Amino acid sequence: MNFSSPLLLFGGYAVLLIVAIYFFVWIPNKKKNKQMREMHASIAPGDTVVTIGGVVGKVKEKDDTYVTLIIDEEKGVSIKFLLMAVSQLREKASESPKSDEGTAEAAKTPEADKKN
């Protein structure tokens, strides 16, 4: 058996190519898809999201396939999108914007208390 035959060499390269595609393409894509599914499952009314088209809105309602986003709260404009069109979760509804109370308390020093 001649190990330098072109057919055997081609077969070896083909196997290496398939293994490389598996490790460099399939596995990272699988992880990214899992993260997207988890993000889509965690979306709840009140969350701020961005679609793949760049539309930013607040989730009004969500079901298994669709999500309705409020685009302009003052005018009541809302659009219904496929859930898979949501690409980013910007802010959860349960998260509140950071208040200045923590920074004001941290800025107090014992010397400032003595002056009062």
Give residue-wise pLDDT tens across range 1-29.
555 788 888 888 999 999 999 989 888 89
Report which of 77, 69, 75 is spatially closest to residue 48, judged by C-alpha positions: 69
User: How far apart, in whole angstroms, are the C-alpha atoms of residue 12 and residue 52?
Assistant: 41
Say yes or no: 55 and 35 in one domain.
no
Which helix (H) or strand (E) is 67 found in, with range? strand 66-72
Q: Is residue 90 part of a domain?
A: yes
Q: Quick check: 48 and 91 in contact, CB under 8 A?
A: yes
Domain residues for 27? 1-42
Q: Is a pLDDT exceeding 60 seen at residue 98? A: no
The verdict on 70 and 30 lying in the same domain is no
In angstroms, the CA 40 to CA 66 distance is 11
At position 87, the amino acid (one-letter code) is S
Q: Tell me, yes or no, whether 58 lies in a domain.
A: yes
Taking 90 as the threshold, does the pLDDT of residue 105 lie above it? no
As for how many domains the chain has, the answer is: 2
Residue 107, both tokens:
């800025």
Residue 36 sits in the same domain as residue 52? no
The structure's pTM equals 0.61
Domain CATH number, residue 49: 2.30.30
Which of 37-46, 56-65, 97-106 is least confident? 97-106
CA distance 13 to 64: 44
Same domain assignment for residues 62 and 29: no
Helices and strands, counts by H and E, the chain: 4, 5
For 72, the 3-state DSSP assignment is strand
